[in-house]
Amino acid sequence: MTEDHYHCNTCNIDTESAEEVCADCGNIMEWVEIEAEEDEEDEDQTTLEKLLEDLPSHVDEDAFTAFYENDESYNEGRDLDDLVESFEEAYAGRYTSDEDFAQQLSDDLGYEISDSWPGNCIDWEYAARELMFDYWEENGYYFRNL
């Protein structure tokens, strides 16, 4: 996107006003087109807002936002269907800690771990650290690395 400006070669200043003479040095201003810098954060937010408007009702909006914002450069330009498919493939749920996530995943995978010995000897902090090589967390939302 370009914007029209007037430029003084002597002072090296730009102005949007249509003054033909530089107010600082009195030289004649030159009309130029300058490539306008776009506010990327606003553009990304606008893109995300547009996606959220069309998001299927079964998709958790906050979890999707965390997923999208984690790698905006990768997600930029992808269509909503592709993003939702990737989100659904990666999303593992919301948990209060890595340890809670590891315990729930263990349950979900069918491991029967009792509250008594030897189940009470499991180092869930260590198990969670190992598990997080394959997952990532954003604001309590957990996702599998794809």
- Give the model confidence (pLDDT) of 90-144 as tens digits: 999 999 999 999 999 999 998 888 787 777 788 999 999 999 999 999 999 999 9
Examine the pLDDT at 59 and tell me if it is beyond 60: yes
**Tokens representing residue 14 in the block:** 């730009």
Lowest mean pLDDT, pick from 5-14, 34-43, 98-107, 127-136:
34-43
Q: Kindly give, in sequence order, each residue whose CB lies less than 8 Å from that of residue 114, ignoring residues fewer than 6 positions away.
A: 120
Cα separation, 105 vs 57, in Å, equals 25
Sheet holding 13-15, edge to edge: 13-15, 2-8, 30-35
pTM: 0.64
- Cβ-contact 20, 7 below 8 angstroms: no
Place of tokens 């730009």: 14
pLDDT of residue 48: 83
Residue 57 DSSP class: T
Examine the pLDDT at 9 and tell me if it is beyond 90: no
Give the residue ranges of DSSP H helices in the chain.
40-53, 61-70, 72-75, 80-90, 98-108, 124-131
pLDDT of residue 98: 97
Q: Which of 87, 76, 63 is nearest to 138 (CA)?
A: 63
* DSSP bridge pairs for 94: 141
Cα separation, 15 vs 113, in Å, equals 71
Examine the pLDDT at 18 and tell me if it is beyond 70: no
User: Whole-angstrom distance between the N-terminal and C-terminal Cα of the chain?
Assistant: 35
- Give the model confidence (pLDDT) of 65-89 as tens digits: 999 988 876 777 788 899 999 999 9
Helix-then-strand count for the chain, H and E: 6, 6
